Amino acid sequence: MRAIFVLTVLSVTALLAQVETRKPFTAYDIPEFYVDAISFSSGDSTSSRTDVYVQVPYDALQFVKKENRYVAIYEVTINFLTEDNVSVSEKVWSEEIVVPNYSMTESKSAFSLTQRSLMLQPGIYKLRAQVRDSESKKAAHVVKRIIVGNYASSALSISDLMLVSKVTSEGDGKKLLPNISGNIGEKNNLFYIFFEIYSPVVSDSLELHYIITDHKGKQLLNKYQTYRTQTTRSQVIVQFDSTQYSLGAYTISVEARSLLRAEEALPVLKQKAFVVKWENVPMNIDDLDLAIRQMRYIAKEAEYDAIVEAPTEEEKRKLFEQFWKKRDPNPDTKRNEFMEEYYSRVEYANQHFSHYIPGWRTDMGMVFILFGSPNNVERHPFDIDSKPYEIWSYYDYNRSVVFVDETGFGDYRLLTPIWDMLQRLKNY
């Protein structure tokens, strides 16, 4: 069997919602990073090998100039816990990045990729990962639910699926660059998945079934492949065309079934989520139609209708990009800070004001998206002679807005008209 090497170089309800008062607001206060854990058979019946990958973009780190180079250092902590929050395995390590020029420190495409392997018993775990920038002292955290498979207990099994950005030949084998961000829309027209097949039969005939669905469950790809194993551990790389998928979230499913041992070897299924995101578009945008609807607070009616009613996906994307380009405060740079802050506020609203509807559609969410954090907040949840209410004060607008909880279930409604404030923003 030719070897395959993996390249490692490298909801809160409105009742509990609390808006923070005015402070500098930025979408990039802490380092942004990606983490994935992929389990494989270890050859041991009591444990499986789990490979943890951490990908940190250069522009998320604080670089320091040292002589004619730029240096960044960060620390990674990964911790696996049981469902009862008992720690079973932890690893800590540091990484140093050295680049020759300043422009690389701001690159959105360059990143540091590291990997560590652990032996874990099959089961369900909580993975807590932290990346801490040594210069800024800021830290980011990610928590993921991880299922470590038991590959010794069945007559046929497959490992977790790994998304792969690039495959290159190396001698008699292949070298893989894992795609840890899950975004297949970054420059390349191809993406791959890698997985292993475990079968006690050296020469087994399998049917592999690949399905890709969008976030609504619509099936976009459905294909079959006949595959004959040569050993009890087979490594598979499958290529896909990424240009077929527009902005959004997707799931790829792989089902394997034995054609020779149908009765004793039950079919096995593994799935992997991935997304298509566009360059220079905020990472929290993964649904173009939704992102367009969320623009309605600042878009003029004619602009909004033209984008919504665009006849093709390509035309819709073009108008969407034009809308934000016109509002870019620094058009000579790749980033559009106004767009980033707007959708960061949308994300904040969804996290803090969601109730029966998404937070961005609530009155509190709308006001926060439009005007940001208030300079002052007065909360009156338990006044005897009135329903619960809040007063948000915006000094720049010389205005206070009042929200009243008419139902008692945290559904705060806007009581103060803001039409004039809204018009000022739409004429921006």
d(CA 319, CA 159): 42
* Mean pLDDT computed over every residue of the chain: 88
Say how many C-beta atoms besides its own lie within 10 A of residue 358's C-beta.
Answer: 16
Per-residue CA distances from 180 to 124, 350, 384 (Å)? 20, 25, 53
Q: Give pTM, 2 decimals.
A: 0.76
CB of 96 within 8 A of CB of 72? yes
pLDDT tens digits along 30-45: 458 999 999 999 988 8
- Quick one: which of 196, 190, 194, 189 has its CA closest to 178? 194
Tell me the helix, strand and coil percentages in the chain, rounded to 5.
20, 40, 40
pLDDT computed for residue 428 by the predictor: 55
d(CA 254, CA 267): 10
pLDDT computed for residue 422 by the predictor: 65
CB of 194 within 8 A of CB of 237? yes
d(CA 296, CA 305): 10
d(CA 165, CA 371): 39
Instruction: For 316, list phi and psi in degrees, rounded to 5.
Output: -65, -45
329 Rama class: left (phi>0) / alpha (psi -120 to 50) / beta: alpha
pLDDT computed for residue 423 by the predictor: 63
The single-letter DSSP state of residue 109 is S
The single-letter DSSP state of residue 183 is B
Extended beta strands in 366-407, E state: 376-380, 389-394, 399-405
Banded model confidence at residue 55, pLDDT cuts 50, 70, 90: very high
CB of 156 within 8 A of CB of 266? yes
What pairing do the DSSP bridges indicate for beta strands 399-405 and 389-394?
Answer: antiparallel
**CA neighbours closer than 13 Å in the CB half-sphere of residue 304:** 13
pLDDT computed for residue 5 by the predictor: 44
340 CB-near residues (< 8 Å, 6+ apart): 27, 28, 282
CA dihedral 80, 83, 84, 89 (to 10 degrees): -10
Summarize the confidence of residues 229-248 as an average pLDDT: 92
d(CA 149, CA 78): 19
**DSSP bridge pairs for 233:** 198
Banded model confidence at residue 250, pLDDT cuts 50, 70, 90: very high
CB of 40 within 8 A of CB of 159? yes
pLDDT tens digits along 373-423: 999 999 998 888 789 999 999 998 888 999 999 888 888 999 887 766 666
Domains of the chain, CATH where assigned:
28-150 (2.60.40.10), 154-176+183-281 (2.60.40.3880), 288-426 (no CATH)
pLDDT computed for residue 137 by the predictor: 93
* Per-residue pLDDT at 100 exceeds 80: yes
Summarize the confidence of residues 107-128 as an average pLDDT: 94
